[in-house]
C-alpha cells in the first residue's frame, strides 16, 4: 500500500480550510463565502444573554459590545421579548491624509425569546452600561379565579 505524503502547506490548505469552514457561523455569511475571504461583509450575531427570575420580575442581561444605546431596540408583546442592535464602524479620513486602505464593518445583534409568563409595561426598565443591556421586566399579575357560591 502506497503512503501519500503531504507538504505542511498542502495539509494546512486542505484541513485548515475544512476546519475554518466547519466552525464558521452559518448565519453570518452566505454559504458560498467563507469568512476568511470576505472580512468586510456585515454579520448578524446572536447576542449572549442571561435571564434571571427574581420572583415578581425578570432580569435580563444582554451583551451588546460596541453598540450605542440609541441603536438598541427592545419590543415586548405579552411574554415575547425582541432585542436588536446595530454597530457600524468606519474610519474617517482627514483632509490632507493619503488613504491607502480603509475598511467598514457592520454587525447586527438580534435576539427574540419567550418568557414563562407575560410581563407588564408598568415598572419595566432598560439600562445600558459598559456594553451590557439590563432589562427589568415585572411579571403581569395573573388573573385570579374567583369561585362563586351557587345559592
Query: Do 30 and 53 belong to one domain?
Result: no
Q: What is the CATH number of the domain that holds 81?
A: 2.60.40.790
The answer to the question of residue 149 being in a domain is no
Partnered with residue 22 across adjacent β-strands are none
The answer to the question of residue 52 being in a domain is yes
Q: Please write the tens of the pLDDT for every residue from 45-84.
A: 778 899 999 999 999 999 998 889 999 999 999 899 999 9
The answer to the question of residue 1 being in a domain is no
Partnered with residue 110 across adjacent β-strands are 46, 84
User: What's the pLDDT at 76?
Assistant: 92
Q: How high does pLDDT run on average in the chain?
A: 75
Q: Is-above-0.85 flag for pTM?
A: no
Query: Do 36 and 69 belong to one domain?
Result: no
Q: How many helices (H) and strands (E) does the chain have?
A: 2, 8
The answer to the question of residue 135 being in a domain is yes
User: What's the pLDDT at 94?
Assistant: 67
Considering its fold, how many domains does the chain have in total? 2
**Full residue range of the structural domain in which residue 23 is found:** 8-41
Chain-centroid distance of CA 2 in Å reads 50
Measured from the Cβ of residue 109, the count of other Cβ atoms closer than 10 Å reads 24
Amino acid at each position: 500500500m502506497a503512503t501519500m505524503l503531504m507538504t505542511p502547506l498542502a495539509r494546512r490548505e486542505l484541513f485548515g480550510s475544512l476546519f475554518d469552514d466547519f466552525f464558521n457561523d452559518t448565519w453570518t455569511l452566505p454559504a458560498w463565502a467563507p469568512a476568511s475571504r470576505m472580512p468586510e461583509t456585515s454579520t448578524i450575531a446572536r447576542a449572549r444573554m442571561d435571564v434571571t427570575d427574581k420572583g415578581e420580575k425578570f432580569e435580563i442581561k444582554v451583551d451588546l459590545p460596541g453598540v450605542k444605546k440609541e441603536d438598541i431596540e427592545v419590543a415586548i408583546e405579552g411574554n415575547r421579548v425582541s432585542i436588536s442592535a446595530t454597530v457600524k464602524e468606519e474610519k474617517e479620513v482627514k483632509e490632507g491624509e493619503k488613504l491607502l486602505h480603509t475598511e467598514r464593518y457592520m454587525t447586527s445583534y438580534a435576539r427574540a425569546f419567550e418568557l414563562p409568563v407575560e410581563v407588564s409595561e408598568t415598572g419595566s426598565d432598560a439600562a445600558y452600561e459598559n456594553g451590557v443591556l439590563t432589562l427589568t421586566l415585572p411579571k403581569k399579575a395573573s388573573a385570579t379565579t374567583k369561585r362563586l357560591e351557587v345559592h
